[in-house]
Amino acid sequence: PSAAPVSSQYLGTLKVLEDKRVQNNNTEFDKADSLRAAVFQNWLEKKRVFLLELKKIEKKKAEELRNNAEKKEAVKREEAIASFEAWKKKKGREAKKLSEKKKLEELKKKKAAEQNEDKTEAAQKAFEKWKERKVEYLREQSRKEKQSERIRKKKEEELVAEKKRNSMSAVEKWNERKEEYMKQKKVEKVQERRKQEIQQAKKEEKNKKAMEEYERWLEKKERREQLEKKQKKLQAVRGHEGPSPWSPP
C-alpha cells in the first residue's frame, strides 16, 4: 500500500524555519558576493590605475630614451662639426704655412734675381767704366804720340835747318846719325819682335806640353778604367763560377 505524505504542524514549523534559514543564508551569500565584487572592483580599479601608471612610466622611459638618443646624436653631430672645424683650421694653417713657404721661396728667388741683376748691372757699369778708361787711355796715348811726333818732326826740322846752315860734312854726319838712329830703331823693333816671337813660342811650347801631359793622363786614366772593368768582370765571372777545383784554399 502507498503511503501518502503526512505534514504535521511540527514539520510545517521546521519548513518555515528552514526557509528562513535559507533566506538568511542567501542574504549572507549576497553580502559576501557584494563584498567580493566590491573587492574585485577595487582591485580592478587599482590594476587599471597601476597599468596607466606603468604605461606612463614606460612612455616616460621611451621619451627619455628618445631624448638620450637625440642628445647623443646631437653630441655626435657637434663632435663631427667640431672635428670638421678643427680639420678645416688645421688645413687652413697648413695652407697658410704652404703659402708663406711659397712666398718665402718666391722672395728668395726674387732677391736672388735682383742680386744677379745687380751683379750684372755692376759688371756692366764696371765694363763701361773700363771701356771709358780704355778710350781715354788710347786718346791720351794718341795725343802723346802725336805730340811726340810733332816734337820729333820739329827737332828733325831744326836739325835739318842747322845742318843746312852747316857744311856738307855736317849734313853727311847728320845723315849718318839719322841712319844709325833708324838702324837702331829697326834693330830695336827686330829685337822686340824677336822677343815677342820667343815668348809666343814658349807659350805655345808650354801649351803643347800641357796638352801632351793631359793626353798622357787621359790615356792612363782610360787604361786604368779598362783594367778595373776587366778585373770587375773577372771577379764577377769567378764569383758566378765558384772556386775552381785546382784553386788553393
Helix (H), strand (E) at residue 230 = helix 168-241
User: Does pLDDT of 180 surpass 60?
Assistant: yes
**Does the global pTM surpass 0.85?**
no
27-36, 43-52, 124-133: range with lowest mean pLDDT: 27-36
Q: Residues 163, 170: contact at Cβ < 8 Å? A: yes
In angstroms, rounded to a whole number, what is the distance separating the alpha carbons of residues 150 and 133? 25
In sequence order, the 6+-apart residues with CB closer than 8 A to the CB of 162 are: 170
Phi first, then psi: give them for residue 245, nearest 5 degrees: -65, -20
* Backbone dihedral angles phi then psi of residue 52, each to the nearest 5 degrees: -60, -45
Query: Which of 59-63, 124-128, 142-146, 173-177 is predicted least confidently?
Result: 173-177
Average pLDDT, the chain: 82
Q: Which of 22-31, 38-47, 152-161 has the lowest mean pLDDT?
A: 22-31
Q: Tell me the residue length of the chain.
A: 249
Tell me if 159 sits within 8 A of 174, measured CB to CB: yes
